Amino acid sequence: MSDRNDTALREAWTSPSGFPGWLSVVNNRPLGVRFMVTAFTFFLIGGVMALLMRIQLAVSENSFLGPEWYNRLFTMHGSTMMYLFSVPFLEGLALYVLPLLIGSRDVAYPRLTAFGYWTYLFGGLLFYASFLFGKVPDAGWFAYTPLSSSDYSGLGLDFWAVGLSLVEISGIVAAVEMIVTILKLRAPGMSLNRLPMFGWAMLAAGLMSLFAFTTLLVGTLMLELDRTAGTQFFNSRHGGTSLLWQHLFWFFGHPEVYIIFLPATGIVSMVVGTFARRLVGYTYIAVAILVTGFVSFGLWVHHMYTTGLPELSLGFFAAASLMIALASGVQVFAWIASLWGQRPALRSPLMFVLGFVFIFVLGGMTGVMVAIVPFDWQVHDTYFVVAHFHYVLIGGAVFPILAGVYYWLPKITGRMLLPWLGQLNFWLSFVGFNLTFFPMHIIGFLGMPRRVYTYSPGLGLDGYNLLATVGAFVLATGFAVLLIDVCYSLWHGKPAGNNPWGGVTLEWTVASPPPAYGFWELPIVNQRLPGETTPETPEGPASLARKPADQSPAQRAGSAQRANPAQRAVAALRGQPTQWRATLNSDVLTAAPQSIQYLPGPSYYPLLVAVGLVIALVAVLAKVYLVGLVGLAIAGLAIGGWLWPETQRIEQLRDSPLVADAGLPTLVSGRQSLGWWGMVCLLAILGTGLLAMLYAYFYIRLYSPQWPQEGLPRPDWLPFGIAYGLLLLTAPALAWAGHAYRHQRSNQIQFALTTVVLLTAAFLATSLHALVQYGVSPQQTAYGSLVALLSAYPWLLALVGLALVGAAQRQLWREAAVDDPFAASQLQIVSLYGYFVIVAGVLVFLTLVVPL
């Protein structure tokens, strides 16, 4: 393989360097490194904050930090670790490793990944910009209302809400990326039951993120509306309720910790699989991961046991919270079974896995304890809980991350880390961690609540707090050792080679670091551990795809025709294409190749959209709303540029010789196309948003003595009915367009789509008029706020839909031939969106108007 000439392929995939090219990079590996470096930087900053807090708490009635700064620090420490470190770091690691693991050259939506990075970076910077203005958020990382309302918190909370919104968008976008990449871009033969465990973990985390982050985004939006627009969602003086915030937040917050934990278990499975030379119970682990993800959405009330909820409800959530432990137990025992008797080498990655088992299991035990309602009544909001969640988060996420770093950094940098520094780091971290957090269980029992900047000397808390502070510095030293190790290895580390650990998954078949294109030749997989040798394939199964270099062209052509479709596709893409970037798009379940998937190259659009969004959100912060509209316009235009079909590119794809060589199309529609899957994910997101708003409506209604509140009138069914009726009529029009497309009647398609456009415009006008006429202020009651919010949602969706239909119409008008996968997929995607908007509108109409 050293004699192959990969210059052309490398050029096609090389990212632009220098400035401003660096702003347009879309390759997954550079972006993955950016995510990890940025996230780790935030981690270090958050860690320093923790050390400052521990210094303040080392002795009672200390005056190192006053309440103002302490409260800001614990807020920023929690927010940084939870929002700016854990998920983004795992996202970065997955971006880097996952395509290699599944045998793909990149992820499904490279530009979307870049957009995700920029929104994450800007969100984090906005959080920290609050320091420049001296208005640092100080309401805790979960910002309970009414403390976080404008009555009790200043501009710092706006920085919090706005920064968080950007980070949430980044998380949602990353989720879509993971889901579609794992489902559609696996190498031929990697059926779903051969997916490496890290893939299952990221798939589950991605699916969970769609629902969890979107709910928080709705909640954050509602909080910011309360703070800046005078709505009353969370204000009990005007019909709202502060508990609504808690429900919305924790519906996100609990799955969030599993979104962090599951990828960490994925890392552990990969490391155990390599060091034990087997992973026992594959199906059990995969099922456990999916069950954990699903059940985690049914636990959130265990954060609210002390809010006076009914006993029955508490009991249900307690039962669910206990049962989820079983799924985690399956994973732990699968790892034990895998390691049993295998005498694994206790190298750095495995040491951190062992540390994870010890610490996480202890955290899981205290988790079971706090799941129990009466026990939680004592320890909720005390240092016992602080101990619990640090055990499960540092043990359950940071230690696996460190294991993953020691395991995969050699692949990323091509250099090994120093074994003895790894051991030193491990022991400092393990001992330091336990010294810091074990005493916290005790001081929780002794009566020390959370989030206190100091404590009374007469309660017996002093000694344990001092111990915890000492431990924190020991733990910090461990991280210092890691930094030294990484820096040293970058320059002087031993070259790692392709496979320093003897792993049998696909990332170990490429060079360290991998070339820009990843795989010269995509692998064909016919077993769960592709690198594992069997009697039939002494050189590994991938060798079946390789043709000896000394075959004549005729021989090669002949054998290409005799080869199966996967072999033919893989052979055609060997070192190809060089004028554009591509990988293979395959079936969701069986991974049979379906098309040659074009992947976009460098682009500035993702950055522009992110910048537009930031401008809009900062305008909200600074209360210059006109500038906000400018920001939205920039973002909108940039999205338009991003999605605008590149006609030349489409021509090139249609005429590519690879189609004949590979026996696969380059353009597909329907469930085969990535665009379809992206739209389905988008609809899951938009649907979750709608459900969150409907939840808010019915929740507030449940606790209102009178509905509508204060005897206000309901929206009148006639004007609203006309408006939503017009929207409903777009359904048959869309169906007509689809029908006309299938029968290739281009005139009818145009008529149908024009009808959709006109009806949508009419809906926009009439529903706005109806709302204005209805006249109930969103600022006086929670009811008014809810009506306005629920009405605005389908309205904005329809506005965007108008643009989408217009664009599809233009594309179909330009295309002479109606029978074209690209045009078909445009129409399908737009129709999916359109039907969704109609359903959303109908649900909103029924909710607001029907007097039940």
| Residue ranges in 391-450 that form contacts with other proteins under rule CB under 8 A | 442, 445-447, 449-450
Using CB under 8 A as the binding rule, whether residue 223 contacts other proteins is answered as no
Under DSSP, the state recorded for 703 is T
Residue 586 β-bridge partners: 593
Between CA 162 and CA 221 the distance in angstroms is: 9
Let me know the angle formed at the C-alpha of 533 by 202 and 523, rounded to the nearest 5 degrees. Answer: 50
Between CA 678 and CA 502 the distance in angstroms is: 36
For other proteins, the binding residues in 63-92 under the rule CB under 8 A are: 66-68, 71
Using CB under 8 A as the binding rule, whether residue 532 contacts other proteins is answered as yes
For other proteins, the binding residues in 326-365 under the rule CB under 8 A are: 326, 329-334, 336-344, 346, 354, 357-358, 361-362, 365
Under DSSP, the state recorded for 539 is T
Using CB under 8 A as the binding rule, whether residue 455 contacts other proteins is answered as yes
259: nearest Cα among 305, 210, 318: 210
Using CB under 8 A as the binding rule, whether residue 556 contacts other proteins is answered as no
**Residues 113-147 as b or e (16 or more Cβ within 10 Å = b):** bbbbbbbbbbbbebbbbbeeeebbbbbbbbbebbe
Using CB under 8 A as the binding rule, whether residue 303 contacts other proteins is answered as no
> Which amino acid is located at 447 in the chain?
G
Using the rule CB under 8 A, give the single segment among 100-108, 309-317, 747-755, 825-833 that binds other proteins. 309-317
Task: Give the nearest distance from C-beta 330 to other proteins in angstroms.
Answer: 4
Using the rule CB under 8 A, give the single segment among 116-124, 529-537, 670-678, 831-839 that binds other proteins. 529-537
Using CB under 8 A as the binding rule, whether residue 533 contacts other proteins is answered as yes
| Residue with smaller CB distance to other proteins, 534 or 551 | 534
Q: Which of 21, 134, 313, 451 binds other proteins (CB under 8 A)?
A: 451
| Residue with smaller CB distance to other proteins, 241 or 489 | 241
Task: Give the nearest distance from C-beta 138 to other proteins in angstroms.
Answer: 8
For other proteins, the binding residues in 475-504 under the rule CB under 8 A are: 502, 504
Using CB under 8 A as the binding rule, whether residue 460 contacts other proteins is answered as yes
Using CB under 8 A as the binding rule, whether residue 284 contacts other proteins is answered as yes
Task: Give the nearest distance from C-beta 654 to other proteins in angstroms.
Answer: 42
| Residue with smaller CB distance to other proteins, 362 or 737 | 362
Let me know the angle formed at the C-alpha of 392 by 390 and 398, rounded to the nearest 5 degrees. Answer: 80
Alpha helix stretches (DSSP H) within 193-241? 197-229
Q: Are strands 581-586 and 593-599 parallel, antiparallel or unpaired?
A: antiparallel
| Residue with smaller CB distance to other proteins, 496 or 615 | 496
Q: Which of 41, 378, 551, 647 binds other proteins (CB under 8 A)?
A: 378
230: nearest Cα among 851, 617, 789, 791: 789
Asked if residue 832 lies in contact with residue 687, where contact means CB atoms within 8 angstroms, the answer is no
| Residue with smaller CB distance to other proteins, 148 or 215 | 148
Task: Give the nearest distance from C-beta 201 to other proteins in angstroms.
Answer: 17
Using the rule CB under 8 A, give the single segment among 47-55, 61-69, 411-419, 597-605 that binds other proteins. 61-69
Using CB under 8 A as the binding rule, whether residue 529 contacts other proteins is answered as yes
Using the rule CB under 8 A, give the single segment among 533-541, 616-624, 663-671, 744-752 that binds other proteins. 533-541
For other proteins, the binding residues in 613-672 under the rule CB under 8 A are: none
Asked if residue 794 lies in contact with residue 727, where contact means CB atoms within 8 angstroms, the answer is yes
Between CA 202 and CA 195 the distance in angstroms is: 11
Using CB under 8 A as the binding rule, whether residue 23 contacts other proteins is answered as no
Asked if residue 794 lies in contact with residue 851, where contact means CB atoms within 8 angstroms, the answer is no
Using CB under 8 A as the binding rule, whether residue 134 contacts other proteins is answered as no
Between CA 77 and CA 83 the distance in angstroms is: 10
For other proteins, the binding residues in 664-703 under the rule CB under 8 A are: none
Task: Give the nearest distance from C-beta 380 to other proteins in angstroms.
Answer: 6
Asked if residue 342 lies in contact with residue 276, where contact means CB atoms within 8 angstroms, the answer is yes
Under DSSP, the state recorded for 397 is I
| Residue with smaller CB distance to other proteins, 184 or 238 | 238
| Residue with smaller CB distance to other proteins, 460 or 640 | 460
- Calculate the alpha carbon distances from 679 to 340, 605, 829 in Å: 45, 19, 6
Using the rule CB under 8 A, give the single segment among 278-286, 387-395, 431-439, 820-828 that binds other proteins. 278-286
Give the x/- contact pattern for other proteins in 231-260, rule: CB under 8 A: -----xx---xxx-----------------
Task: Give the nearest distance from C-beta 464 to other proteins in angstroms.
Answer: 11
- Calculate the alpha carbon distances from 225 to 37, 70, 625 in Å: 34, 28, 13
| Residue with smaller CB distance to other proteins, 358 or 642 | 358
305: nearest Cα among 382, 370, 373: 373
Using the rule CB under 8 A, give the single segment among 386-394, 404-412, 453-461, 684-692 that binds other proteins. 453-461
Using CB under 8 A as the binding rule, whether residue 314 contacts other proteins is answered as yes
Q: Which of 28, 86, 265, 382 binds other proteins (CB under 8 A)?
A: 382
Q: Which of 375, 427, 438, 717 binds other proteins (CB under 8 A)?
A: 375
- Listed in sequence order, the residues at least 6 apart from 36 whose beta carbon sits closer than 8 Å to its beta carbon are 89, 92, 93, 96
Q: Which of 44, 129, 369, 722 binds other proteins (CB under 8 A)?
A: 369
Q: What is the DSSP string of 515-527?
A: PTTS-SS-----S
26: nearest Cα among 602, 591, 648, 564: 602
Using CB under 8 A as the binding rule, whether residue 780 contacts other proteins is answered as no
Q: Which secondary-structure segment (H or E) carries 103?
A: none
Asked if residue 147 lies in contact with residue 223, where contact means CB atoms within 8 angstroms, the answer is no
| Residue with smaller CB distance to other proteins, 18 or 535 | 535
Angle at which helices 674-702 and 242-275 cross, to 10°: 140
Q: How many residues bind other proteins (CB under 8 A)?
A: 93
Using CB under 8 A as the binding rule, whether residue 458 contacts other proteins is answered as yes
